[in-house]
Amino acid sequence: MLSRWFPAAINTRPTEWSRAAIGMALGTLFSVWLCGQVFGLEVAQHLIGPLGASAVLLFAVSSGALAQPWSIFGGYLCASVLALLVAHVLGRTLESACLAAGMALILMCWLRCLHPPAGALAATLVLADPSIIALDWQAVGAAMLAGSGLLAFALAYNNLTRVRYPKRASEPVAVIPADHPPVDRQAITAEDLKSALEEMEAFFDVTPEDLEQLIHASERHAKRRSITQVLSGRG
């Protein structure tokens, strides 16, 4: 039972950690600076918590479904609008901040733009300091400018450091010629994986296409290992 608490091994190299760390630091700094130029540094610094959390996703796990452009853009928009609505109706209390975060989660799921740091943004905007309270609805613009700045930096930095972002769409399924040998009808496809994910009824930061590629890659490694074992046995 205690073994479940131990972290799984990270499948990335230290060079990738450094690349992500540099991108996170520079991206967060850029987004805060950009927001500060328009809305003031005091406002921008108050948003650094959600921005730092978003930067972890955008630079360290940029292939994840929660780190794609629509996730951060839509997530920030849902969170900021709902936060100000709740603040106007229920006031700026701890209870209303938690309510705003929960409501933002529901809206993000409905709009398919789930982005965890947006929950922190919703609570942050409800429990805002005087500089953000003075902005009133302009606080939505401040949050969106900061988030968009971080996203723009991630688009440039990730691709310049040879990390494809945003994630490209999956390749269409090729048409099998009539004279091609029959395909194994029990082979797992993206549709099967999608149905399995829906059946599990839980959040997974991975797409069916990613899982399909992982399974195919595992099958290739297993086949290569099997061939190597056969050849070594003959030797």
**Of 190, 146, 169, whose CA–CA distance to 58 is shortest?**
146
Q: Is the pLDDT of residue 136 over 80?
A: yes
The full DSSP string for 56-104 is: HHHHHSTTSGGGSHHHHHHHHHHHHHHHHHHHHHH-S-HHHHHHHHHHH
Which pLDDT score, from 0 to 100, does residue 150 have? 98
Q: Residues 106-119: what's their mean pLDDT? A: 95
- Answer with the residue of higher pLDDT: 25 or 200: 25
Q: What is the mean pLDDT of the chain?
A: 84
Q: What percent of the chain lies above the pLDDT cut of 70?
A: 69
Which pLDDT score, from 0 to 100, does residue 232 have? 72
**Cβ contact 128:139 at 8 Å:** yes
Q: Is the pLDDT of residue 78 over 70?
A: yes
Q: Is the pLDDT of residue 32 over 90?
A: yes
**Cβ contact 135:105 at 8 Å:** no
Confidence of residue 227 (pLDDT cuts 50, 70, 90): confident
Model pTM? 0.75
